[in-house]
Structure 1
Amino acid sequence: MREKRDLLTIGHTALDYIIQVNEFPLPNSSTAIKNMRTFHGGAAANVAVVASSLGLKSSLVSAVGGDFPGSDYQKDLENKKIDIQDMIVVKEDKTPTAFVLTDNNHDQIFYFYWGAATRFKESEVPYDAIKNVQAVHLATGDPSFNWKCGKFARKEGKIISFDPGQDLHMYSPNDLLEVLKISDILFGNHHEIERILKTMKMNVDELRNFGPSIVVKTRGKEGSTIYSGKTINVDALERETVDPTGAGDSYRAGFLKTYLGGESLEYCGKLASAVSSFVVEAEGCQTNVPSLEMVHQRMSNNK
Structure 2
Amino acid sequence: MDRTISVVGHAAIDLLFDVEHISCHNESYPITDYHEYFGGGAANIAVGIATLGGKGQLISATGEDFGSSGYEEYLTSLGVDLSLLYRCKGQKVTKAFVFTDRDHNQSTYFHWGASTLLKELEPPEVDFVHLATSECSFNARIAKKANFVSFDPGQDLITYNCKDLETILEHTDILFTNRHEIKRVCEMTGRSLEELKARIGTIVVTYDSRGSRIHTQDAQYCIPVVPVKAVDPTGAGDAYRAGFLLAFTRGYDMETCGRIGATVASFVVEVIGCQVKLPTWEMMQERFETHFGKLSR
TM-score by length of 1: 0.87
Is the aligned partner of 1:227 residue 2:225?
Answer: no
8 Å CA contact 2:2–2:250 kept in 1: the answer is: no
Q: Structure 1's 227 and 10: CA in aligned 2 closer, same or farther, altered over 3 A?
A: same
Shift of 1:6: 1.6
Matched residue, 1:215: 203
Shift of 1:302: 2.2
SS of 2:248's partner is helix
Q: Structure 1's 261 and 91: CA in aligned 2 closer, same or farther, altered over 3 A?
A: same
Matched residue, 1:7: 5
Is the aligned partner of 1:274 residue 2:263?
Answer: yes
Q: Distance in 2 between matches of 1:192 and 1:115?
A: 25
Which letter maps to 1:214? Answer: T
Which letter maps to 2:53? Answer: G
Shift of 1:4: 8.5
| Structure 2: segments with no counterpart, 5+ residues | 293-297
Matched residue, 2:40: 42
8 Å CA contact 1:18–1:283 kept in 2: the answer is: no
Matched residue, 1:285: 274
Shift of 1:25: 8.2
Structure 1 segment 187-266 matched on structure 2, within 5 A: 187-210=176-199, 212-229=200-217, 230-266=219-255
- Correspondence for 1:138 among 110, 126, 131: 131
Is the aligned partner of 1:297 residue 2:295?
Answer: no
Matched residue, 1:161: 150
Which letter maps to 2:52? Answer: L
Q: Structure 1's 72 and 140: CA in aligned 2 closer, same or farther, altered over 3 A?
A: same
* Number of corresponding residues: 291
| Structure 1: segments with no counterpart, 5+ residues | none
SS of 2:144's partner is helix
Q: Distance in 1 between matches of 2:100 and 2:190?
A: 32
Which letter maps to 1:73? Answer: Y
Q: Distance in 1 between matches of 2:90 and 2:43?
A: 21
Matched residue, 1:94: 92
SS of 1:302's partner is helix
Shift of 1:82: 1.1
Q: Distance in 2 between matches of 1:122 and 1:46?
A: 24
Q: Structure 1's 231 and 99: CA in aligned 2 closer, same or farther, altered over 3 A?
A: farther
Q: Structure 1's 35 and 221: CA in aligned 2 closer, same or farther, altered over 3 A?
A: farther
Which letter maps to 1:213? Answer: G
Is the aligned partner of 1:113 residue 2:111?
Answer: yes
Q: Structure 1's 107 and 179: CA in aligned 2 closer, same or farther, altered over 3 A?
A: farther
8 Å CA contact 1:221–1:238 kept in 2: the answer is: no
- Backbone CA RMSD of aligned residues: 2.6
Q: Structure 1's 201 and 9: CA in aligned 2 closer, same or farther, altered over 3 A?
A: same
Same amino acid, percent of matched pairs: 40
Q: Distance in 2 between matches of 1:66 and 1:293?
A: 36
Q: Distance in 2 between matches of 1:101 and 1:259?
A: 37
Is the aligned partner of 1:151 residue 2:144?
Answer: yes
Instruction: Give CA-to-partner distance per residue, 1:81-113, whole Å, 9 cap, x none.
Output: 111022111121111112346789989775322
Q: Structure 1's 165 and 278: CA in aligned 2 closer, same or farther, altered over 3 A?
A: same
Q: Structure 1's 258 and 170: CA in aligned 2 closer, same or farther, altered over 3 A?
A: same
Which letter maps to 2:148? Answer: I
The answer to which of 100-109 and 259-268 deviates more is 100-109
8 Å CA contact 2:62–2:86 kept in 1: the answer is: yes
The answer to which of 177-186 and 98-107 deviates more is 98-107
Q: Distance in 2 between matches of 1:104 and 1:178?
A: 44
Shift of 1:174: 1.8
TM-score by length of 2: 0.89
Q: Distance in 2 between matches of 1:282 and 1:217?
A: 24
Q: Distance in 2 between matches of 1:259 and 1:107?
A: 38
Q: Structure 1's 213 and 25: CA in aligned 2 closer, same or farther, altered over 3 A?
A: farther
Q: Distance in 1 between matches of 2:265 and 2:205?
A: 14
Matched residue, 2:295: none
Matched residue, 1:75: 73
